[in-house]
Structure 1
Amino acid sequence: MARPRILVVGGGFAGVECVRRLERRIPAGAAEIALVAPFSYQLYLPLLPQVASGVLTPQSIAVSLRRSQKHRTRIIPGGAIGVDAKAKVCVIRKITGEIVNERYDKIVLTPGSITRTFDIPGLAENARGMKTLAEAAYIRDHVISQLDLADASRDEEERASRLQFVVVGGGYAGTETAACLQRLTTNALTHYPRLDPKLIKWHLIDIAPKLMPELGDELGHDAMDMLEKRGIEVSLGVSIAEAGPDMVTFTDGRKLPCRTLIWTAGVAASPLVATLEAETVRGRLAVTPEMTVPGYDGVFALGDAAAVPDLVKGGDAVCPPTAQHAMRQGRKAADNVIATLLGRPLQQYRHRDLGLVVDLGGKDAVSRPLGLQLKGISAQVVARGYHWSALRTNVAKTRVLTNWTLNAVAGDDFVRTGFQSQKPATLRDFEYTDAYLTPQQVREHTAALSVKV
């Protein structure tokens, strides 16, 4: 009898946790486990702003998939671009560009999310994201290059536009990105004596009425107070009306000379979701509390791409797209996959939030572990302690701790690597949003290409 094939799509928090659990709980030889991942690492996304600001090196938060697994899982280097649930085939584009079909008996969809955008003139061409390691590396080079170019320029208008920076999105990603990069440009001033500190200005804007509303009023106010004391201008109830290469227009009518627009205004489910033609909830796959996709045999979905019901809150509430939920969903989904193989009942996902941590750089932070509200140094200790403990390998933990120590002792550096200087820097280019097939194309590929057996 052939061994059942379990295919996990996505090497993020949910996918990696699912594979780790499957490896631990399925006896060797009892099933084939495969993981589809475009990169050979799991990106520890919460620390991405610290890579953009140079506090951490990119390799520090790229946690090796091969170190974190037991080598029983076959890792397919590529990205899933379509799923034919009827034929039980996943269409994969390998990193070589070759398109192959992968058969499965059970599939766990954890393709994650992409940056959510809107139909704003100039946004697609001029905004930069903070969702991938390449984007963080690009933004770091770009911000430092603006300082270099402003320092060399004799044109006051050019200098002013290069020293204005706009971050859109008052959630965790946007707030931490603005805070970490503002700290970088402030510390850089001693190396740029020609630049007027008053000209360097960071703007954090969000259409919502509150900054990081999940924190609650008190901690949200504390975070905003920390940012404003450092000179970051926070504008709420405001978004972008138009984005140009050297000018940004706000929805309140303000026009700001600016050559750096960082867009972190939320996430949307991976386009892979649309290839199933299944029911969605605000763009995420509708799933049961057991994380199965109704009407699709052997299909599980979780993480950012799935609207997993939040049984603790009840009603129509779904779990937010956070790493904390994704990791725990991954473990529960693995248990349910095993339960289907053994003919046992499935378990519902239920989890209470353990709290929130926000690292604003240096001594600034706010945290709410288990309901306890902290700010300043104590919050920073909790935030960094949580992130450090969540890293899955000792190599990653050592690198991160070493980087933090080095930055605290030696300070920042202001070197442009140039690795991404010739690469198109749009959201589409970095996040490969054009890579996916239509449902019709998926069916054509599963019919035309030979299925691997």
Structure 2
Amino acid sequence: MSDRPARILVVGGGYVGMYTALRLQRLLKPGEAHVTVVSPDPYMTYQPFLPEAAAGLISPRHVVVPLRRVLNRCTVVAGDVMSVDHAARTAQVETLASREAGTGPAPVAYDQLVLCPGSVSRVLPVPGLAEHGIGFKSVEEAIGLRNHVLEQLDIASSTRDVAARQAALTFVFVGGGYAGVEALAELEDMARYACRYYHNIRPEEMKWTLVEASDRVLPEVGPQLGVYTVRELRRRGIDVRLETRLESCTDRVIALSDGARFSARTLVWTAGVRPHPVLAETGLPLDDRGRLTCTPSLRVDGVEDAWSAGDAAAVPDLTRPGELCPPNAQHAVRQARTLAANVAATLRGGTVKDYRHRYAGSVASLGLHKGVAHVYGRKLKGYPAWLMHRTYHLSRVPTVNRKARVAAEWTLAGLFKREIVSLGSLEKPRAEFELVAESVRRPERDER
């Protein structure tokens, strides 16, 4: 046994990655192991708050948790793991510096591998989707979508072209899961409120459409609350189209499988996720959906010193024999605790434990003071469900600092009016400088 500290490499800084590293730095003694976390972003995004960030109810900086602050005893590397050679116990890591310098990935050695890169958006080969679609998986996308929606109101308010106005006021969301339903509900709420400041736009002129390929929305909350959600959205004038697929969106013309065709300047794609592509570059066993095949102890099946959990892992659900744990935040956070304890036990020659957790239920927001919840067998609707949604997620957002800031923002939002300003120019901070630079270069070219 080497006298040097064990090297633990955590791939991914999401729910599983951050909570596993956080738990490890509490369980391990100083000098017992060195934990390195490799993540494309130096922060963890609390995704259940993305809809409220998009609606302006929470500041974007309070939706993310800086990894270097909470993982003060770990080494955080901003970069991507490109491949893994588990037989050699090395991973090829490309950092921001190596990418800019063009030097390529560098090897990082490890003794224990925690592979939890999460998932990426599942984009289907729909004509026009790559050109016009907007995702809703990161805080950048959420804030970009907020700016985009408000900009469409500005366009509609200032144009005399009827067709352009109708396209600007048409918003299409594809996917009836948590992300699609909550994002649509919160943004529709925000846009309806914003219309009071536009003298020539009435809320009834906006067309909001939810497209879902299956026969119901929010399957996690159960059929009854799913039906209620559809009824509630339709009562608000939202066009919910079940058993319908997006066939194309070329030139911003939406074509649906039910024959509908209309122009829209906003297309939000939330139709599912798929495992991170790096899993295919590890040589580790995968299931038919591309996830790592894991045992109940969260060890990669048949592989020593490799662990996984969350979206990237197919973990047997011991409370429901024959089924797998659903890839949601509730399981990810709890799996991370078990995973960290098992890694620590392995380093000390102890016994690992199986992950077992009975699903507590689901909560979803449908806009301000509206929601649905199915928790411990009890079904809630409207304001009680919305309050349950906020209470649950406030208790789960990491760090006391974030809890206090989010609670303060909710309080202020209840006391004062919404902020409806679009800050789309923040996405291109050098635009004015580049415009001036181009105006200087143009006369020089003309002289030549």
| Alignment CA distance shift 1:417-1:202 (3 Å) | same
CA deviation string 1:21-63 (max 9, x = no partner): 1111111111111111222221101110111111111101111
Whether 1:368 aligns to 2:370 is no
Distance (Å, rounded) in 1 between the aligned partners of 2:9 and 2:299: 14
Distance 1:225 1:330 in 2: 37
Q: Map of 1:139-150 to 2, 5 A cutoff?
A: 139-150=145-156
The AA in structure 1 aligned to 2:6 is P
Within-5 A mapping of 1:296-375:
296-315=303-322, 317-375=323-381
SS of the aligned residue for 2:262 comes to strand
Amino acid at match of 1:313: R
Consecutive unaligned residues of structure 1, counting only runs of 5 or more, are: 424-453
Q: Which position in structure 2 is the counterpart of 1:64?
A: 66
Q: Does 1:76 align with 2:77?
A: yes
- Which residue does the alignment assign to 2:23? 21
The alignment's TM-score, normalised by the length of structure 1, stands at 0.90
Paired letter, 2:314? A
1:149, distance to aligned residue in structure 2 (A): 0.7
The answer to whether residue 14 in structure 2 is matched with residue 12 in structure 1 is yes
What is the CA distance between 1:419 and its match in structure 2? 4.7
- Equivalent AA in structure 1 for residue 206 of structure 2: I
Partner of 2:52: 50
Question: What SS is found at the alignment partner of 1:96?
Answer: helix
Distance 1:366 1:73 in 2: 39
CA distance in 1, matches of 2:98, 2:234: 47
Kept in 2, the 8 Å contact 1:141–1:416? The answer is: yes
Pairs within 5 Å for 1:236-247: 236-247=242-253
Distance across 2 between alignment mates of 1:68 and 1:387? 19
SS of 1:170's partner is: coil
- Equivalent in the alignment of 2:237: 231
**Which of residues 162, 176, 184 in structure 1 aligns to 2:182?**
176
**Partner Cα separation in structure 1 for residue 23 and residue 4 of structure 2:** 22
The 2-side partners of 1:4 and 1:419 are apart by: 47
Q: In structure 1, what is the Cα distance between the partners aligned to 2:183 and 2:319?
A: 31
Give the aligned residue type for 2:200: R
Secondary structure of 1:218's match?
helix
C-alpha distance in 1, partners of 2:29/2:403?
29
C-alpha deviations, 1:327-371, integer Å up to 9, x for none?
A: 011111111111221222321111101111101111101112222
Between the aligned partners of 1:60 and 1:66, the Cα distance in structure 2 is 15
Tell whether the 8 Å contact from 1:85 to 1:297 is kept in structure 2 after alignment. Answer: no
* Compared CA separation, residues 298 and 419, structure 1 to 2 (3 A): farther
**How many matched pairs?**
421
Q: Alignment partner for residue 158 of structure 1, among 147, 156, 164?
A: 164
Cα contact 2:148–2:424 (8 A) shared by 1: no
**CA distance in structure 1 between the partners assigned to 2:202 and 2:153 by the alignment:** 11
What amino acid does structure 1 have at the position aligned with 2:376?
Answer: L
Shift in Å at residue 421 of structure 1?
Answer: 4.3
Cα contact 1:3–1:32 (8 A) shared by 2: yes
- Which residue of the other structure, out of 255, 265, 269, is the alignment partner of 2:271? 265
- Distance in 2 (CA, whole Å) between partners of 1:144 and 1:245 is 21
Q: Distance in 2 between matches of 1:286 and 1:97?
A: 32
Deviation at 1:244, TM superposition (A): 2.2
Q: Which amino acid aligns with 1:31?
A: A
In structure 1, distance between residues paired with 2:338 and 2:164? 54
Q: Displacement, 1:225?
A: 2.0
Q: CA deviation at 1:306?
A: 0.9
Within a 5 Å distance, the mapping from 1:81-96 to structure 2 comes to 81-96=82-97
**Matched residue type, 1:136:** A
Give, in whole Å, the separation in 1 of the partners of 2:121 and 2:152. 24
Residues 366-405 of structure 1: matches in 2 within 5 Å?
366-405=372-411
Matched letter for residue 300 of structure 1? W
Between the aligned residues of both structures, percent identity stands at 39
Residue 142 of structure 1: how far off its partner (Å):
0.7
Match of 2:299 in 1: 292
Letter in 2 for 1:398: A
2:446 equivalent in structure 1:
none
Q: Match of 1:208, SS?
A: coil
Equivalent-residue separation in structure 2 for 1:325 and 1:29 (angstroms): 30
Q: Which structure 2 residue ranges, 5 or more long, are not aligned?
A: 100-104, 430-448
* Deviation (angstroms), 1:67: 3.3
- Find the counterpart in structure 2 of residue 205 from structure 1: 211
Query: RMSD between aligned alpha carbons?
Result: 1.5
Supply the distance in 2 between the matched residues of 1:219 and 1:294 (Cα, whole angstroms). Answer: 37
2:36–2:75 Cα contact (<8 Å) kept: yes
Q: Which letter maps to 1:288?
A: T
Per-residue deviation at 1:309? 1.3
Deviation, 1:259, is 0.9
- Is the 2:316–2:324 Cα contact (8 Å) retained in structure 1? yes
Change beyond 3 A, Cα 1:420–1:306: farther
> Which of 185, 196, 199 pairs up with 1:193?
199
Within 1, Cα distance between the matches of 2:187 and 2:250?
21
Instruction: Give the conservation status (yes or no) of the 8 Å contact 1:63–1:391.
Output: no
